[in-house]
Amino acid sequence: MLCLLLLERSTHTGGFAATSMIMGAAALAAGAFAIRTIGIALWPTVIFVALSRFSIAQRMRDSTRGQLAAAASAAAAIVLAVGAVAVIGIMHSGYLRIFRAQEASPDSVFGQAKAKLRVVGELATNIPGSSRYALDAARPLYYVAGALLIVLIIVGSIHRRRLGLVEVYTASTVLVLLAFPGNLSRLWIPIVPMLIAYVLVAARALGRRRLVRIGLSIYFVAFAAVGVASLADSVRLSFSGAQFPDRWTSVPSLRAAYKVAFGQVTPASVGAIDHDALQVLRYYEPRASQK
């Protein structure tokens, strides 16, 4: 969000200030990618804003005139360094193996499309499918909610009638997530503010009809109520202390990994342990790494 804010501010100024903001946004985009691979979705936005300002593009060309080889080498080195940090971090943590084992998606195109629609439905209802409060009988409603949300986003984007950095960033993020084999609603969190904005634009356009206005009002109230309830439950879970493993998951091997990582039990006193999860805990959690 800070990267997008700098890019947005750069469009309202000029000269050295605009150049500094764009360069700062580029640094933030590189840092975001080093932390999370989805950060790559910021780069099309940075390039879009930089090229949309002819004076900045001209200044960049002038500064590298006669030194194109050096500029290309530096750019390649930065890309390789950032990519290497991301790849090494993911592989060293052991998360990649967990992803392959537990979060891999259907291989067929139809299966992928169905899984993506379910994820959009989770965003629309504000209830992730992994939640212990999600009813199995209500899971088909995810597809209906996902389809309705897509319609609202399309209506909102049509009425916005603008191609700006928000549209570029949202589109690039969606394309990355559609190509990504994992289907988890939390991966879409970076563009949730944009999706909400599109829905609000659509609600304003469709709210002229009384029935539609009442339906949208009920939806917004329910969405907010579910969010507050989920936040309260997450806070309760976060402060559950030693009972966290039992409250968080029903998978015995994952519960055992948490208990072993935090020294609640010894490996010999429990059955199967998810060793990949244990490695991730010890890699990212300082308290677990000391056990």
Instruction: Please return the burial class of 47, using the count of CB atoms within 10 Å of its CB with bins 0-12, 13-18 and 19+.
Output: middle
- Between the alpha carbon of residue 136 and those of residues 51, 141, 151, the distances in Å are 49, 10, 25
Tokens standing for residue 210: 């009384």
Q: Is the pLDDT of residue 37 over 70?
A: yes
pLDDT at 114: 84
Which of 31-35, 53-57, 154-158, 219-223 is predicted with the least confidence, judged by mean pLDDT? 53-57
Alpha helices, H only, 15-108: 15-35, 42-52, 54-63, 68-93, 95-102
pLDDT at 177: 84
Segment 266-281 mean pLDDT: 82
Domain boundaries, the chain: 2-95, 106-226, 241-289
What letter represents residue 94's amino acid? G
Measured CA to CA, the distance from residue 240 to residue 254 in angstroms comes to 17
Percent of the chain surpassing pLDDT 90: 4
Query: Quick one: DSSP state of residue 10?
Result: H
The residue among 221 and 111 whose pLDDT is bigger is 221
pLDDT tens figures, 72-130: 665 566 556 655 655 665 565 555 555 555 445 556 677 778 888 888 888 888 887 76
The residue among 225 and 95 whose pLDDT is bigger is 225
Segment 185-207 mean pLDDT: 86
The residue among 204 and 91 whose pLDDT is bigger is 204
Which residue reads 């030693």 in tokens?
242
